[in-house]
Amino acid sequence: MPQANLKLSPHDQQVLDSIFNPLELSGLPDLDSVPTESDLADVEPDSPVIRASRELELKAIALSEEGKLDEALELFQESLNLAQRASVLNNRAQTLRLAKRDEEALNDLNRAVELAHEQQVRTKCHAHCQRGVLYRKLDNLEAARADFEAAAQLGSKFAREQLVEINPFAALCNQMLRQAFDQLK
């Protein structure tokens, strides 16, 4: 099959560049300066109360995975009663979303983002991603974009992919590419 040489105008090239690298337009650092998500970690103080809270949190996660949402929510609450921890709120929000309780999940995510500090980068990243997904579901694309940008700055590949998907130029790009391929036929 012969290959066609497509000449793009500078404007068309700029549109394609913005689609394939939307983070460049948003002022986010380039990929080389951002950690990868696997490098992110949470550092919490080590105390008997924190260990007990973490243990309850892990049991609640396991119950959620088994579909025992009410039991999981009870354990998450017990964990929070011991210590107000961002990771517990983030994980409870996931369970609340599974239980179709989006408003409560949003409240937990807002609080998780507030509680997470410089030493809880992993939880903060995940909370921003999860809240971005929830905002996207609720058709609040500006809030979703802000959360995905925050998560992308922290190192989330998922957030970067979401930014590309909600990029307003993406639809234009798809249309342009379709037209170009139609012209090749």
What are 93-131's pLDDT values in tens digits?
Answer: 999 999 999 999 999 999 999 999 877 889 999 999 999
Q: Say whether pLDDT at 162 is over 80.
A: yes
Q: Spell out the alpha helix ranges (H) of 7-68.
A: 10-20, 22-26, 48-65
pTM greater than 0.75: no
Burial class (CB in 10 A: 0-12, 13-18, 19+), 56: buried
* Structure tokens, 157: 């590949």
3-state secondary structure of 42: strand
CA dihedral (110, 115, 117, 119) positive or negative: negative
Our measurement of the distance from residue 19's CA atom to the centroid of its chain's CA atoms, rounded to an integer in Å, reads 19
Domains of the chain, earliest start first: 10-184 (1.25.40.10)
CA geometry: angle at 62 spanning 97 and 74, to 5°?
Answer: 65
Count the residues in the chain. Answer: 185
Residue linked to tokens 């974009």? 145
pLDDT value of residue 178: 72
Instruction: Return phi, psi of residue 133, to 5°.
Output: -60, -45
pLDDT digits (tens, 9 = 90+) for 20-73: 554 444 444 444 444 555 555 656 778 899 999 999 999 999 999 999 999 999
Q: Which tokens go with 93?
A: 């929000």
